Amino acid sequence: MALIDDVSAALPDMQRQAESLMTLTLTPYAPTGDFTTDADGFEVPELLPQTPHAGKVQGGSQSGKDTQTRYIRVGDVERPVLEGGLHIPLSAPVPQPGQQINLGWQYVVTGVNGLADVALLGRRFLVVEVPAKSFATARRLNVISLD
């Protein structure tokens, strides 16, 4: 039996284990392309809530990297990219990334349980990249925090 066969056989169990660590409830929001006016009179993108699912927030590790943290400008603010900062199940819809609030999907932490930090409740994240990889046990999204 080849190594590839061993990995393929073990992958479903590894995926179950990865999803068991997802103790947050995330509600994804997809932009509709339309705009609405908020209470302050500003035009803001209209976001359509999608089906909530489990997830996990994890700060990216800089160990072993020789490059500086990457930043993306949102409005007049430079925000650091959390590389692989948001984990969602492989069964969840693949979000559309963007580097402007009105173009990309956003995720809001709408529930916490287990050992999750309650300070995450209500935090919003904008998806800026959706990396792909072989033998994935979860989808790890590159995001920026909007809060």
26-41 per-position pLDDT tens digit: 999 999 889 889 899 9
119-141 per-position pLDDT tens digit: 889 999 999 999 988 878 889 99
Model pTM score? 0.78
What pLDDT is recorded for position 64? 53
What pLDDT is recorded for position 1? 62
Q: Report DSSP state, residue 96.
A: P
90-126 per-position pLDDT tens digit: 889 999 998 877 788 999 999 988 777 888 899 999 9
Specify which of 4-8, 27-31, 62-66 reaches the highest per-range mean pLDDT.
27-31
Per residue, the 3-state secondary structure of 46-69, as one string, reads: EEEECCCEEEEECCCCCCCCCCCC
User: Tokens 């990889």, residue?
Assistant: 133
Sequence ranges of the domains in the chain: 3-145
CB-CB contact of 31 with 105 (8 Å): yes
Q: In this structure, are strands 106-112 and 24-37 parallel, antiparallel, or unpaired?
A: antiparallel
Residues 89, 85: Cα–Cα separation, whole Å: 13
Nearest to 16 by CA among 84, 85, 90, 86: 90
